[in-house]
Amino acid sequence: MRPHVTCTCPAKLNLALAVDAAGSEGLHPIASWMVTVDFADDLAVTMLEEGYLSRYAVIWHEDAPQTSEIDWSITDDLAVRAHMALEAHVGRALPVQVKLQKRIPVGGGLGGGSADAAGMLRALNRLFDLDLDPGEMVSIAMGLGSDVPFMLHGGSAMVSGVGETLEYHEQVPEFHAVLVLPAFSCSTGAVYKAFDEGEQGTFKADVVAGAISSPPDPTLFFNDLAEPATRVAPPLGELMAQVQTIAELPVHVSGSGSTLFVPCTDALHAGALGASVREQLGVATVPVAARATETELMEST
């Protein structure tokens, strides 16, 4: 009987995002209100016997709304890198069989790779009874990417620094939205380069803090990377205008794009608006709600 862990790896939205100028190491401090939503990748991790080589399968889930070619090396996949980083941390092999079924699009600003890496760290910690404390987990996560520490816990949090400072909120706010998933992606590096080339304003960390409320007030949402993203990918600006005409509501960019989201009053509104945008523009949409990260399910097979 081989024990295995299954978990969901939810996408995140940046409801408010302030970006500061790059520091001496080339990293941009941020302040962001992040929430996880009920749009997620599925991860299954099965323990193998000692001495076995780990093996991985990364595929699109059959109900993924927007797919692209999985053309990266398996060792470049962030979930696989998380596995290798945890093995290095504990100083021994942790042989597993991994099946990752993706729904979150690549290069969409939803943190899909970060979610998968965080899910892998959680799954391995439980599967191998490693009992790593939260500080150790965050330290490993920071080596993988700035969104990974938040994804370890998910829910709702003020995230600052370069992702290492987390102030979690007791409750996940009631929040509904429609995700609009264009067929093109945005390069995070290119968007930050465009940000650096633009006019540098005041770092608005206090504005992010002031935007945090329950229920959320969409009039306070903003994203310092939205304008640079539309310069990197001009079709994104065109799509924003088209969606705004249909929704008659403000349209926001998550992270560095290319995903757009429109805050909605409830699930019924989100479903109806998503269908309307999909029918009129021929672009993939997903109605979502804010949610906490679910506890991993551990079984024996």
Provide the pLDDT for residue 98: 98
Q: Which of residues 41 and 297 earns the better pLDDT score?
A: 41
pLDDT for 301 beyond 60: no
Position 112 scores a pLDDT of 96
Rounded Cα–Cα distance for residues 76 and 78 (Å) = 6
Q: What is the pLDDT of residue 200?
A: 80
User: Can you tell me the distance from the alpha carbon of 125 to that of 133, in angstroms, rounded to the nearest whole number?
Assistant: 10
d(CA 224, CA 191) in angstroms, rounded, equals 10
Residue 253 token pair: 């960019």
- The answer to whether residues 283 and 260 touch, using CB atoms and an 8 Å cutoff, is no
Q: What distance separates the 2 farthest-apart alpha carbons in the chain?
A: 60
Write out the two tokens for 275.
Answer: 């269908």
Mean of the pLDDT values across residues 262-283? 98
User: Looking at 12, 41, 116, 204, which residue is catalytic?
Assistant: 12
Per the prediction, the chain carries an average pLDDT of 94
Helix (H, G, I), strand (E, B) or coil at 15: strand
Q: Give the pLDDT score at 39.
A: 97
- Half-sphere exposure in the Cβ direction for 288 (13 Å, CA): 29
Q: How far is CA 263 from its chain centroid? A: 17
pLDDT in tens, 109-164: 999 999 999 999 999 999 999 999 999 999 999 999 999 999 999 999 999 999 99
The encoded tokens of residue 80 equal: 């696989």
Residue 64 has pLDDT above 70, yes or no: yes
What is the domain range of residue 219? 1-301
Task: Assign residue 102 the CATH number of its domain.
Answer: 3.30.230.10
- Residue 1 reports pLDDT greater than 80: no
Looking at residue 198, its amino acid is G
H-helix or E-strand spanning residue 211: helix 205-211
The pLDDT, as a whole number, for residue 106 is 93
Considering only 22-26, 52-56, 237-241, which range has the smallest mean pLDDT? 22-26
Q: Is 147 a catalytic residue?
A: yes
Q: Which residue has the tokens 């790779």?
A: 113
Number of domains within the chain: 1
- Active-site choice (41, 77, 147, 224): 147
Segment 261-279 shows an average pLDDT of: 98
Range 159-170 average pLDDT: 94
- Residue 282 bridge partners (DSSP): none
